[in-house]
Amino acid sequence: MKQQSFSSLEQAHKKKRTKREVFLGEMDSVVPWARLEALITPHYTKPRKGRPQMPLSVMLRIYFLQQWYGLSDPGAEEALYDMHSMRDFAGLDLAHDAIPDETTILNFRHLLEAHNLAEALFGVVSDYLEERSLLMRGGTIMDATLIAASPSTKNEAGKRDPDMSQSKKGNQWYFGMKTHIGVDAKSGLIHTVKTTTGKVHDAKLTDDLIRPDDVIIFGDKGYVSDKRKRASRAQGVLWAVKDKRKPGRVLSASQKKRNRKHGVVRAKVEHVFRVIKCQFGYRKTRYRGLAKNEAQIFSLMALANLYLARRCLRAESA
């Protein structure tokens, strides 16, 4: 058993737990660590020369810290040296353990990207929640959000990121990418994630976000389609997309009432974006290109599902 350092003993006897410690304690108890580590192990554990490989459990926890607190690779290394709560979550002690440097942290992230493991992590978490009857079936809420990207041309190519593009929302232009999600209408948890460049219209991803067994489809006015509405009705599926005012006409009283009724359910999808953008602070892309940013999106969505379901998961394990 590893002996605790004096700083660790002092932290253990302090009178108050910080918000960060409470949050990390909650997430530590709901993440299916064994399943996620089993997924990555075949790609991570390899014979090597030189210094011993950092334990997978440590690197995965550091990777999740990066997602929760918006940390870059150098920023994650600095935070581990600076914050006891983060070291404790990662299972590290300054008195006995080496802190992974930024290159080690970067290499682990590249490993996940190279083998599409971030998408696989999302799948493992989805299966875990479905087994516990938290991620259900029957209805889908579709929505998309813009993620801003840096428009800077101060790089080797002297150009903006070619995978990002401009999109207009209201009277404002944005440069970046879009994240499209399908959310379970009952639980509010994400079941499908897609990413595109910013100029792709939300409605083009409709078929990708709907599950074959869905019997009701919710969406905002961006998904309006008379053709899809007729096709859904023919299949016995309720098309609960909000009605949009046509040029030169106004919505009827019944259409407004219908929009309000379906809007109450559709609002569940906004909780996901609140967690991603406000709780985890993900408002702007960190990397160039869709591939790297897509990997981060899948990781964030998996963690958002666990965060949204944390009370049910903790009650189940109590």
What pLDDT shows up at residue 9?
54
Do both 250 and 145 map to the same domain? yes
Do both 48 and 155 map to the same domain? no
Do both 150 and 244 map to the same domain? yes
CATH number where 259 lies: 3.30.420
Residue 317 lies in a domain: no
Residue 120 lies in a domain: no
What pLDDT shows up at residue 50?
65
Do both 109 and 178 map to the same domain? no
Residue 313 lies in a domain: no
Give residue 26's domain range: 6-115
What pLDDT shows up at residue 246?
86
Below-50 pLDDT ranges, the chain: 1
pTM of the model: 0.91
Q: Which long-range contacts (CB under 8 A, 24 or more apart) does 29-32 make?
A: 29/313, 29/314, 29/317, 30/306, 30/309, 30/310, 30/313, 30/314, 31/64, 31/306, 32/124, 32/125, 32/128
Do both 142 and 42 map to the same domain? no
Strands (E), the chain: 139-148, 165-169, 172-184, 190-197, 216-219, 238-241
Residue 122 lies in a domain: no
Tens of pLDDT, residues 74-117: 999 999 999 999 999 999 998 888 999 999 999 999 999 999 99
What pLDDT shows up at residue 318?
67
